[in-house]
Structure 1
Amino acid sequence: MIKFIRRAAITSTLLLLVAFGGLAVWGSDRLLHPNRRPLQDYHREILSQPSEFGLRVQPYTGPSGTPCLLVTPSPDPGTANKGRIVREELMKRGVTPGRWGDTRGTIVLLHGYCGRKEDNLPIAERFCAAGFRCILPDLPGHGDNPSPTATFGKHETALAGDLVADAAQRFSFPAAPAALFGISQGGAIALQAAGKCDGHWSAVATVAAFSSLSQPVERAATAIPKLAVIAPFASEACSCGVYFREGFTPADIRPVDAATRITIPAFIVHGDQDTFIPISAGRAIYDAIPGNRKTFREVRGGGHGNVLSTGSHALYADLCRFYITSMLGDGKTSRAGIKGR
């Protein structure tokens, strides 16, 4: 009987170790090497006739072989419906957007997990209409970036600053003022870059960013039916796999900690119906940012993937006004009349 129990214990332990190892390999591979989405029809539509959308688009290869788009406002825009609406909304807010084609600063737009640079073209339409040039990179592990691995800010934070310096020299424009914008994963990276306090940035805005990478990893495990029951075990295995592959764990990636070091104006946007990254994560980030040069916008009815469309023209206009005020004005966004909803 004792031998049977001993053998059963050894067998169970071995099976547990095999399961843990298998989940570590599978989970870390899935996290670090996201599926790469191909170009979508709306990407092709904008790229085929950018002036119709009020844009000029210049593809180029940035630092570390990063595929990028330099997107600037066209001086002779076509229909440009989204851009014209945001300019009208800015005028209603007492902000003069300037002449079409003028640029007065640079915004780096960072896409979400499994995204690609072209996802941000509709957002760049609005920012360009407000007078900004935009840099849209494919982050490591995404789009056409030759790097196979996403590290959620471990290495990408330095890349953000390098992109501005490289593009400014390459295309002969001032490197300052420059700001950050990011969605979900991109927002988390933007916060980490802003928290470095290296003088690169004048403002940062994020949409649906996570406060700690552990949270979406755990949520993803519970969303997989076969893993839901053992979600804590699976997420821990994934964390170990990430550590042995890349030298960090999801628990090490904490934008909420970076937020405590942010000294520039910040605009944090989160949907109240986000079931993947709950609004509490956005509030934690906002609360962690010191001082009063910060804004929190709760988007009612907004889920994880539709915050901007749910917030609609008003949200885009407030984001544009935030950048204009923060990058070109006194930077006191809390006094600019932008209020959460």
Structure 2
Amino acid sequence: MSALDPEAHVLPGPALAGHSSGVELLDYDAVPGATRAGGAPGSMLLLHGFGGDKRQLRPIGDALCPAGAVAVHPSLRGHGDSPSPDWGFSVLDFSADLHRFADVLPDELHLVGYSYGGLVAAVSAVTWGASRVRSVVVVDQSFDAHPHLHVADEWAEGSLLRWTYDFGHLPDLLERLGIPLLVLAADDSPKIPADERERLSRRAGASFSLEFIKGTHADCLRHTGDITSAMRAFYRNHFGGTDERECAA
């Protein structure tokens, strides 16, 4: 855990931390919630995208995590102060890292993931199940395979493994598990192609929502107000609660 954030809340050390095999765990901040009303219904686990770190989704956690809960922001492998192996950048590797310190996380979580972190969130939710994960929010990330989008850059392995394989079954699995899913698609981003957007819009129902936010893939996170507004409505629809405006009135 990083000492850079003086407000970070220290969670108990996981069992694997002292394991004799020398397991390296992710660096993370656990920030106590402060929102009084109109936020998330409980503790949050927020996952950044390729090239980001534990600070990337901090504005969302700060805006939505309620008092008495905690927002956990890990730096995924290869990012920030977390371990950076030479290989192992599939979505399954990232999810496994979360499992290694899952015993320090709150018993119930609302997962949020941006870009590649959205796939990691969905895979982790399917693995942990509804007894642990209450909801999933994916910010501007496709579930379909798009091999032509692979770019041989410093994230070549992660990009190849992500775009070569089809993760389109994840929304179906989350629905069967009873875990509500919100997908936020950026208006000017090609990450969720038009045909997938159309298909996702047709499946909107009791446990799935598709909403649109401003910006490109790279800058959509700057529109924090749009994102948190859509998330508040999603949480309110599925978990009830009092809107901040109603509370202020």
TM-score (norm 1): 0.54
Match of 1:194 in 2: 125
Match of 2:138 among 188, 203, 206: 206
CA distances 1:58-98 after superposition (whole Å, capped 9, x unpaired): 36676651111111125xxxxxxxx6xxx7xxxxxxxx449
| Alpha-carbon contact 2:95-2:123 (below 8 Å) kept | yes
Task: State the secondary structure of the residue aligned to 2:122.
Answer: helix
Unaligned runs of at least 5 residues, structure 1: 1-38, 49-55, 75-82, 88-95, 169-174, 225-237, 331-341
Identify the range of structure 1 (157-166 vs 204-213) with the bigger mean alpha-carbon deviation: 157-166
Unaligned runs of at least 5 residues, structure 2: 17-23, 242-249
Task: State the secondary structure of the residue aligned to 2:55.
Answer: helix
Match of 2:27 in 1: 67
Residue 195 of structure 1: CA displacement? 3.3
Q: 1:273 is matched by which residue type in structure 2?
A: D
2:181 paired with 1:273: no
- Give the structure with higher Rg (CA): 1
Identify the range of structure 1 (58-67 vs 202-211) with the bigger mean alpha-carbon deviation: 58-67
Identity %: 21
| Residues 250/111 of structure 1: CA separation in 2 closer, same or farther (3 Å cut) | closer
Q: 2:141 is matched by which residue type in structure 1?
A: A
Match of 2:166 in 1: 254
| Alpha-carbon contact 2:54-2:75 (below 8 Å) kept | yes
Query: Which structure has more helix as a fraction of its residues?
Result: 1
| Residues 116/290 of structure 1: CA separation in 2 closer, same or farther (3 Å cut) | same
Q: 1:65 is matched by which residue type in structure 2?
A: L
Q: 1:271 is matched by which residue type in structure 2?
A: A
Taking the TM superposition and a 5 Å limit, the aligned residue runs for 1:160-239 are 160-161=98-99, 163-168=101-106, 175-176=107-108, 178-196=109-127, 198-199=129-130, 200-212=132-144, 214-215=146-147, 217-218=149-150, 220=151
| Alpha-carbon contact 1:190-1:204 (below 8 Å) kept | yes
Mapped partners of 1:162, 1:288: distance in 2: 37
Mapped partners of 1:203, 1:181: distance in 2: 8
> Aligned residues, how many?
222
Match of 1:298 in 2: 212
Task: State the secondary structure of the residue aligned to 2:105.
Answer: helix
| Alpha-carbon contact 2:43-2:66 (below 8 Å) kept | no
Residue 121 of structure 1: CA displacement? 1.5
| Alpha-carbon contact 2:112-2:136 (below 8 Å) kept | yes
| Residues 197/286 of structure 1: CA separation in 2 closer, same or farther (3 Å cut) | farther
Task: State the secondary structure of the residue aligned to 1:255.
Answer: coil
Mapped partners of 1:191, 1:287: distance in 2: 18
Mapped partners of 1:216, 1:142: distance in 2: 25
| Residues 144/213 of structure 1: CA separation in 2 closer, same or farther (3 Å cut) | farther
2:8 paired with 1:57: yes
Mapped partners of 1:162, 1:285: distance in 2: 35
Higher relative contact order (CA 8 A, sep 6+): 2
Match of 1:134 among 32, 46, 71: 71
Q: 1:302 is matched by which residue type in structure 2?
A: G
| Alpha-carbon contact 2:171-2:181 (below 8 Å) kept | no
Over the aligned positions, Cα root-mean-square deviation in angstroms equals 3.6
Mapped partners of 2:144, 2:168: distance in 1: 7
| Alpha-carbon contact 2:139-2:185 (below 8 Å) kept | yes
| Residues 252/317 of structure 1: CA separation in 2 closer, same or farther (3 Å cut) | same
Mapped partners of 1:153, 1:138: distance in 2: 14
| Alpha-carbon contact 1:157-1:190 (below 8 Å) kept | yes
TM-score (norm 2): 0.71
Match of 2:59 among 122, 125, 139: 122
Mapped partners of 1:137, 1:115: distance in 2: 11
| Alpha-carbon contact 2:125-2:133 (below 8 Å) kept | yes
Mapped partners of 1:181, 1:267: distance in 2: 9
| Residues 143/59 of structure 1: CA separation in 2 closer, same or farther (3 Å cut) | farther
